[in-house]
Amino acid sequence: MRGTSRATSAVGAGAVALSVLAGLTLLSGCGDSGSTSKDGSPKVKIMVGGLDKVIYMPAMLTQQLGYFKDEGVDVQLLTEPAGVQAETALVSGDVQGTVGFYDHTLDLQVKGKEVESVVQFSHAPGEVEIVSTKAAGDIKSPKDFKGKKLGVTGLGSSTDFLTKYLAVNDGVETSEFTPVAVGAGQTFIAALQQGSIEAGMTTDPTVANILEKKLGTVLIDMRTPEGSKQALGGAYPSSSLYMNTDWVNGHKDTVQKLANAFVKTLKWMSTHSPEEIAAKMPADYAQGGQKLYAEAIKSTLPMFTTDGVMPADGPATVERVLKSFNPNLKNAKVDLSKTFTTEFVEKAQG
């Protein structure tokens, strides 16, 4: 069943807009590769907005646990450093699915593209606003964002959306600070060290590495439902598998296999320790060492659902947050029931 209740530089914003609009002109079914593997299993390409980010961990973990294979679907995981780039890959037809933030489904709907979350990994953003050690005395709350350079993964990304909301909610206009696209991981850390940004929004394991090196401090922590409610006023569904609605409707058997695999993973995560989870992930994801990586997973685990179901009040919270600063959404009517479906995850529970 369908659910009922998901100041940039001119050049950077323009490039993102043109890229998305170009994708919107393509046929809705162009993401269908129609290909199968040698054994007849359907092939699906999924773009992830950062495979090594803990917030998107269910994607690689599902592959590592062998659940895609068990369900009889051949999944190729691809990666982009920011969610907005992963979104673009979907609307341009390069992939059939994206693991990224649910809020993109609302943003795309008002641009004429029907995209829906089919598995909801989380009910909190998993994001952290980090302030550099040098700027800690100058930035005590979002009220102090005025005049500052703030790091985001990409312009038009969910970190960009959330940064704007935090600012506007505390009386700072989006034109009064400068978002800087710095990616995540080492590029984010380097920007913080070099002073290219004074603060920024990022996730684990980047957060754990910054705190370990004493390069910054936590200003706002949205890795838990409680932290999400405090910062955003409610549950904020973020990490998800979202896909073009037309593709979903035309490939329900394949989507069900994906949902089955991901729900198995979410349940597995809820019954295993951070150390056990870390041991299943690729070794190179633990750049700060296995112990620090396990700590990063532990800090972020509360954001995940155990069943892939959209939290009841989540879509309305996301809509309220986006409408507070996004001119495209401010006066637009969004049909939240078309931004997600629980059809597949409900069947997967059995």
Query: Per the domain annotation, does 104 fall within a domain?
Result: yes
Statement: residue 20 has pLDDT above 90: no
Q: Which residue has the tokens 């838990």?
A: 224
342 lies in the same domain as 244: yes
Query: Per the domain annotation, does 326 fall within a domain?
Result: yes
| Summary mean pLDDT of the chain | 89
172, 204, 232 - which closes a domain: 232
As a whole-number percent, the residues of the chain with pLDDT over 90 amount to 80
Query: Per the domain annotation, does 4 fall within a domain?
Result: no
Report which of 238, 240, 242, 235 is spatially closest to residue 312, judged by C-alpha positions: 235
69 lies in the same domain as 214: no
- Which residues contact residue 180 at a Cβ distance below 8 angstroms, ignoring those fewer than 6 apart? 149, 150, 151, 152, 191, 196, 197, 200
232, 250, 274 - which closes a domain: 232
Q: What pLDDT score was predicted for residue 112?
A: 94
Look at the chain and count its residues. Answer: 350
Query: Per the domain annotation, does 286 fall within a domain?
Result: yes
83 lies in the same domain as 94: yes
DSSP string, 277-304: HHHHS-GGG-TT-HHHHHHHHHHHGGGB
268 lies in the same domain as 228: no
Digit-coded pLDDT (tens) for 219-239: 999 999 999 999 999 999 999
CA angle in degrees (0–180, nearest 5) for 339-24-337? 10
Q: What pLDDT score was predicted for residue 83?
A: 65
Query: Per the domain annotation, does 5 fall within a domain?
Result: no
Q: What pLDDT score was predicted for residue 77?
A: 97
Statement: residue 23 has pLDDT above 80: no
Q: What pLDDT score was predicted for residue 288?
A: 84
> 3-state class of 213 per DSSP?
coil
As a whole-number percent, the residues of the chain with pLDDT over 70 amount to 90
Digit-coded pLDDT (tens) for 112-148: 999 999 999 999 999 999 999 999 999 999 999 999 9
DSSP E strands, the chain: 43-48, 74-79, 97-101, 115-120, 127-132, 149-152, 178-181, 199-202, 216-222, 239-244
- Mean pLDDT within 192-210: 96
pTM of the model: 0.86
Q: What pLDDT score was predicted for residue 314?
A: 96
Query: Per the domain annotation, does 3 fall within a domain?
Result: no
Statement: residue 6 has pLDDT above 70: no
Query: Per the domain annotation, does 2 fall within a domain?
Result: no
247 lies in the same domain as 284: yes
How do 115-120 and 239-244 pair as beta strands? antiparallel
Q: Which CATH number characterizes residue 292's domain?
A: 3.40.190.10
115 lies in the same domain as 159: no
Digit-coded pLDDT (tens) for 67-122: 999 999 999 999 987 767 788 889 889 999 999 999 999 999 999 999 999 999 99
Digit-coded pLDDT (tens) for 25-77: 333 334 444 577 777 889 999 999 999 999 999 999 999 999 999 999 999 99
108 lies in the same domain as 139: no
Q: What pLDDT score was predicted for residue 139?
A: 97
Q: Which residue has the tokens 């950062």?
A: 50
The span from the CA of 92 to the CA of 26, in Å, is 7
Domains contained in the chain, number: 2
Digit-coded pLDDT (tens) for 253-300: 999 999 999 999 999 999 999 999 999 999 999 988 999 999 999 999
DSSP string, 89-142: HHHTTS-SEEEEETHHHHHHHTTT--EEEEEE-BSS--EEEEEEGGGTTT-SSG
Query: Per the domain annotation, does 141 fall within a domain?
Result: yes
H/E element, 190 = helix 186-194
183, 217, 232 - which closes a domain: 232
Domain that holds residue 320: 10-124+236-348
Per the CB < 8 A criterion, the answer to whether 87 and 106 are in contact is no
- Residue 22 banded pLDDT, cuts 50, 70, 90: very low
